[in-house]
Amino acid sequence: MTCQHCGGETLAVPVSEELRQYLPGTDPGVTVCRTCLAIEPTDDPPAAVPDLTTLDESIPADNGAAVPLVLLVGLLDSLALHRGEITALLERVEREGTDPLLVVDRLADSYGSEAHVDLGRRRHQLEQLL
């Protein structure tokens, strides 16, 4: 499947029932673009979470932090619309022992202008939410 934003290759990720509440719609998974990190709902995710560190080495290997982090980054295109979900995902990633702001910084360095949103600018806005 290709990304609707940039045409890049995507990675399908199942989203647990408890995390679906943070996503629009009711699909059981998302696709994450390997080029721009945009997410799109999918109704056909794999049964198991793939290795999300293939997107970037700064993404934690632990799925308890990695999946909410990927969802968080995917929702950053509309901070105003997804403020509650983003705040909840930030807190969840922190509870899992990962510094989400540090990861966003590293993703901003890795993806630069290829990211679907200006991660450097969003990082500052995220800091204000925390």
User: Which pLDDT does position 128 carry in this prediction?
Assistant: 82
Whole-angstrom CA distances from 46 to 12, 13, 20, 74, 92 are 7, 7, 15, 19, 23
| Backbone CA torsion sign across 40, 46, 48, 53 | negative
Total count of domains within the chain: 1
Q: What is the mean pLDDT of each run of 10 residues along the chain (130 residues)?
A: 94 96 91 96 96 97 96 93 94 95 96 95 85
| Residue 44 lies inside a defined structural domain of this protein | yes
| Residue 62 lies inside a defined structural domain of this protein | yes
| Residue 4 lies inside a defined structural domain of this protein | no
Pinpoint the alpha helices (H) of 7-99.
Answer: 17-20, 63-75, 83-95
| Residue 63 lies inside a defined structural domain of this protein | yes
Residue 83 CB partners (closer than 8 Å, separation 6+): 129
| Residue 2 lies inside a defined structural domain of this protein | no
pTM: 0.94
User: Which pLDDT does position 42 carry in this prediction?
Assistant: 96
Rounded to 5 degrees, what angle do the CA atoms 116, 119, 124 make? 145
| Residue 5 lies inside a defined structural domain of this protein | no
Q: Which domain holds residue 99?
A: 10-129
User: Which pLDDT does position 127 carry in this prediction?
Assistant: 85
| Residue 69 lies inside a defined structural domain of this protein | yes
